[in-house]
Amino acid sequence: MKFYSSIKPYLLILSAFTAVLLMAPNFSKFLTGFIEGQSDDGHKLMVLVTIILVFSVGFIVYYLAKSTFIPSFVLVILFGFAAKDLFQPIFYDQFTINVITTLGAVYILFGGGLETPFKNFKKLFRYIFSLAFVGTFITSISLSWIIVVVAKLAGFEISLPAIIVLGTALASTDPAAIIPCFENLVFKKHRVKYIAISESALNDVIGAILTIAFLTLFQNGLDVSSIGEAYGFLLTADTFFLLAKSVVVGIIVGVLGYYILEFWNKFKQRSQAEEETDNAFFLAIPILTFAIGELFGGPGSGFLAAFLSALLFSLSDHIKHVEHYFNSTVKSFMKPMIFIILGSLIDLPKLIEFAPIGIIVAIIFMFVLRPIVVFSTLGPFVGKGEKLSIRELIFLSFVRETGVIPAVLLITLAGSGIASAEVILPIGMWVILLTLLIEPPLTPWLAKRLKVADRIDPEPITQLGGGTQPTAVLVSRGASFARRLPNVVDWAVKHNIFSVAILHSPEEKYSDEYVQEKQEIADALFLKINKDRANKQEKEIRFEYISSQGYLQDNIQRYIDTHENISIIFAGKRMLDIRSKDIKELSVPFLFID
């Protein structure tokens, strides 16, 4: 029975994948014929139905992935491939694909800037810049050279332009894949985490600018005979001016976007009111900065502008409600959409044909090239005191997943029309899939083995027999604690904990009347639970209700700082959607419950 329970999620995934793979072609034909037979506006209806199917596939896949070690990104790609026939109405031309993927890239880079505290970015800038800027160039050139060698050994002829842009597209890492790996880790020195996340956000921008610059050059007729000649061309006066212009304009527009956000921030601080239009305004800023950057700075400038505007900006408490909406939009819509598109573009015969190259390149990429890049760029900073350690460099070498932005670039390159463009997607796909399959599951083990971080076990550290009484804490913003409290009590008792606290932070709903109402509900629950336990001759639970003004995450941190007896904190599953980076830094174990 235990064995069946462990393999059940994988059986469900396999069954669902097989069903979608077998049914998609016929179902697509039936659906198209039925809709067009019932309506004169059949194409529009089919597009709407397709959008529903994309959302449904994303939801199902993310739900199935929760109970497995397989990253959800990988499953979304596979299901995108299986259901490719269903998605043709919205993925039927390159223009539609480019618009969707560009929009997704802009929002993801903007989100990467928000996830990077600027004060930490400034403090660690020498490490971040060295690894992101110098490292991206080294990775791009070296990866292109590796592809050339492996392709020749495998007997494949691939054009040099395709190899060069493939190298630049895959050079960057992915904060969206790296951040979840750190979820259950408490770092002994937080700089390791900040370097990994900040560098991955910055190298996304650099990789995108490099890729678009080379693609533009090749589409305009640039002919080169070697990788060195191609990169040397970046140093010619005309090309260097265009790149410098792209960077300078990107910085200027990024700063402009920051000041727009700051103006809005100050305005909201004075008004002290949440408006539905706040979310629309916030979503418009990255698009605005991208459009202005591309208009005046050329290709790549817009990506830098969108990232920089968010990096400089810090969300204040009175506008943090928009972060939840933004994160939900990116996580539940943009990221699945991009990987579904990537999966739907897979040509299975091509993927199999280029498997030898893709797999060999991916292995060399992960276990040889990435470590060389990390040690060559950060090696000079190794030493005593506040300098980096060899253990930290080893860890950073293997937290280098390739994900969303490289996927966006691959999709763009696949339809670019340059020579050998058809091989870019299958080779790049192998690299993305293998980095996402191999590296995330090994991250907690490697962190513990290298002693750079401790893995948080969701089991409490009990203090029975001495010291203060261990306490389980249930945190809540609204009235959900009433539904969750019995489950928390059951869990606590099973682990010999007889002290339970409710930490209630109503945030914008806070008022004396509201708190009084919720405390009466809590007190009634406490009384009922202990009365039932007394009837069963069971030990009484010590309850405490605490209500505080301010944001929940801030109150959690204050509670942890002032109480040494916290064994575990329970929170609703949606809590991570608000300020996940703050929660991940806490030293107390979390359990997320319905």
Residue 376 Cα to chain centre, angstroms = 27
Give Rg (Cα) of the chain: 26
Q: Report the pLDDT value the prediction gives residue 318, as an integer from 0 to 100.
A: 60
User: Which structure tokens are listed for 67?
Assistant: 């109970």
Residue 449: C-alpha distances to residues 360, 446, 452 (Å): 27, 5, 8
For the chain, give the number of residues: 594
Residues 287 and 373 in one domain: yes
The DSSP output letter for 568 is E
Residues 481 and 404 in one domain: no
Which H or E element spans position 47?
helix 42-65
Q: Name the more confident of 266 and 562.
A: 266
pLDDT digits (tens, 9 = 90+) for 305-342: 999 999 898 876 566 668 777 877 787 778 888 888 88
pLDDT digits (tens, 9 = 90+) for 446-499: 988 898 887 754 444 443 333 457 888 888 887 788 888 888 888 888 888 888
Q: Name the more confident of 278 and 15.
A: 15
Residues 186 and 47 in one domain: no
Residue 10 lies in a domain: yes
Residues 224 and 351 in one domain: yes
What domain count does the chain have?
3
Residues 115 and 58 in one domain: no
297 with 248: CB under 8 angstroms? yes
Give the β-pairing of 185-187 and 453-455: antiparallel
Q: What is the pTM of this model?
A: 0.73
Residue 64 lies in a domain: yes
Q: Which of 406, 424, 455 is the last residue of a domain?
A: 455
Residues 426 and 339 in one domain: yes
Residue 296 lies in a domain: yes
Residue 488 lies in a domain: yes
Hey, is 92 helix, strand or coil?
Answer: coil
Q: Which of 87, 118, 140 is the last residue of a domain?
A: 87
Residue 461 lies in a domain: no
Residues in contact with 20: Cβ distance below 8 Å, sequence separation at least 6, in sequence order: 57, 79, 82, 83
Residue 155 has pLDDT above 70, yes or no: yes
Q: Which of 455, 490, 512 is the last residue of a domain?
A: 455
Residue 494 lies in a domain: yes
| Best mean pLDDT range from 131-140, 214-223, 260-269, 331-340 | 131-140
The DSSP output letter for 388 is B
User: Which structure tokens are listed for 167?
Assistant: 């190298």
Which H or E element spans position 216?
helix 191-219
Domain that holds residue 79: 2-87
Residue 435 has pLDDT above 70, yes or no: yes
Q: Please give the average per-residue pLDDT across 418-444, as a whole number.
A: 89
Residues in contact with 348: Cβ distance below 8 Å, sequence separation at least 6, in sequence order: 81
CATH classification of the domain holding 524: 3.40.50.620
Residue 465 lies in a domain: no
Q: How far apart are CA 231 and CA 242, in angstroms?
A: 14
Residues 133 and 267 in one domain: yes
- Around Cβ 519, how many Cβ atoms within 10 Å? 15
Residue 466 lies in a domain: no
Q: In the structure, what pLDDT confidence band is assigned to residue 183 with cuts at 50, 70 and 90? A: low
Q: Report the pLDDT value the prediction gives residue 255, as an integer from 0 to 100.
A: 95
Q: From its phi and psi, is residue 526 left (phi > 0), alpha (psi between -120 and 50) or beta?
A: alpha
Residues 393 and 438 in one domain: yes
User: Which structure tokens are listed for 247?
Assistant: 């960077």
Residues 58 and 98 in one domain: no
User: Which structure tokens are listed for 107?
Assistant: 């929002």
CATH classification of the domain holding 338: 1.20.1530.20
Tokens 């020195």 -> residue: 189
Q: How far apart are CA 132 and CA 200, in angstroms?
A: 7
- The dihedral over CA atoms of 268, 272, 273, 275, expressed in degrees to the nearest 10, equals 10
Hey, is 592 helix, strand or coil?
Answer: strand
Residues 69 and 137 in one domain: no
Residues 401 and 343 in one domain: yes
Residues 307 and 366 in one domain: yes
pLDDT digits (tens, 9 = 90+) for 404-413: 888 888 988 8
